[in-house]
A = this chain, B = another copy of it.
C-alpha cells in the first residue's frame, strides 16, 4: 500500500498528463481548469487503494481513477451552475469565469470523457465496469433531484435525508471502492464489502460536512460558518431540529426560513444547541464511521490495507475542513 499522499501525487500527475486536443480551446480549457482546482481526490484515492488492497496493481486502474475524478468534477461544475455558486475551492466557478453555456457544454464533455476513461483498459470486465459506473451516475442525478426538491419542503424526514445523501454523495465513494476492487481482480463478496465501506464512509463524510458548516472553526473551515443555516439548506441539523422541536420552537424555525437577518445563524444555532442536534449528528457520524470499518473485516482486509482504510474513516470523523 502507498500512503494517501503518494496516491494524491500519482493522481495529480495523471490529471496533469491528460492529453487534451489543442482545439477548440474554449471547450477544453474549462475542463483542465476544473480538474486543476485541487480538492481532496478522495474518490480516486479510494479507487487506487482498493485495487492495491485486494492484491491488484493500481497501474491497471488509473484510467478508472481518472474517470471517477472527472465525473465528480463534472457534477461539481454543473451543480455550481444549478446553484448559481460563484466560487469553488476559492476560485471563480466556470460559469462565472467564462459563461453559462461554456459551463454546461464543458460539463457535458467531462461526462462523456469520464465514460471513456472508466471504460478504458477493462478488457473482459468492460460491461460490468460500465454497468456499475452508469448505474451510479443515475443514482447521483436522482440524489441531486431530491436535494433540489427538498428546498421547497418543510417536512423532509431524517430517513429521506439520509437516502438523499446516500444517492448524492455516498454511492460514488462506494463505486470508487468497488471499481478499484473489481479492476484489482477481487471476488464479488470483497467488492460488495468495499462498496458498503464506501457508502458508510460517504454518509459519515457528508454529515461531517453538515456539522462543520455550523460548528466548524472559521479559521480552518475555508467557507463561512453558518452558510447552510443562512441559505435554509435542509441538512441533518435543520431537519432533526424541525422534527424534535415543540410547537413554539417549530414555529420559530419555520419563521426564520427565508429570512436573511443578521442574527439568524445565532438564533438557529441556539435552537440546535437546546435540542442537542449537534451531538446527535456527531453520534451518527461515529456510527457510520464504525459501520465503514466493520465492512473492512468482511472484505478480509488486514495489515497495512486495513489500516489505510481505517485511517480514512477516522479522518472523516476528525477533519476540520
Q: A residues near B, CB below 8 A?
A: 21, 23-24, 26-27, 78, 81-83, 100-102, 104-105, 107-109, 111-113, 115-116, 119, 126-127, 130, 134, 137-138, 141-142, 144-146, 148-149
Contact = CB atoms under 8 A, between A and B. Distances in A.
Given A145-B24, A145-B26, A82 B108 contact: no
A134 B115 contact: yes
Given A115-B115, A146-B24, A141 B105 contact: yes
A109 B138 contact: yes
A105 B144 contact: yes
Contacts of A138: 109, 112-113, 116
B126 A127 contact: yes
Contact of A108 (B27, B113, B141, B148): B141
Given A82-B101, A104-B81, A27 B142 contact: yes
B105 A104 contact: no
Contact of A141 (B109, B127, B141): B109
Main secondary structure of the interface of A (DSSP, over half): helix
A78 B108 contact: yes
B119 A130 contact: yes
Contact of A112 (B126, B137, B148): B137
A291 to B, nearest CB: 26
Contacts of A26: 145, 148-149
B82 A104 contact: yes
19 contacts: A21-B142, A24-B142, A24-B145, A24-B146, A26-B145, A26-B148, A27-B145, A81-B100, A81-B101, A82-B100, A105-B141, A108-B141, A109-B138, A115-B115, A115-B130, A119-B130, A126-B126, A126-B127, A126-B130
A144 to B, nearest CB: 6
The 3 closest A-B pairs by CB, nearest first: A82-B101, A27-B145, A24-B145
A27 B141 contact: yes
A69 to B, nearest CB: 17
Contact of A105 (B27, B82, B101, B108): B82
Given A113-B138, A115-B115, A126-B130, 20 more contacts: A24-B145, A27-B142, A27-B145, A78-B108, A81-B100, A82-B101, A82-B104, A82-B105, A83-B101, A102-B148, A105-B144, A107-B108, A109-B138, A112-B115, A112-B137, A116-B134, A119-B127, A119-B130, A119-B134, A126-B126
Given A126-B127, A142-B24, A112 B111 contact: yes
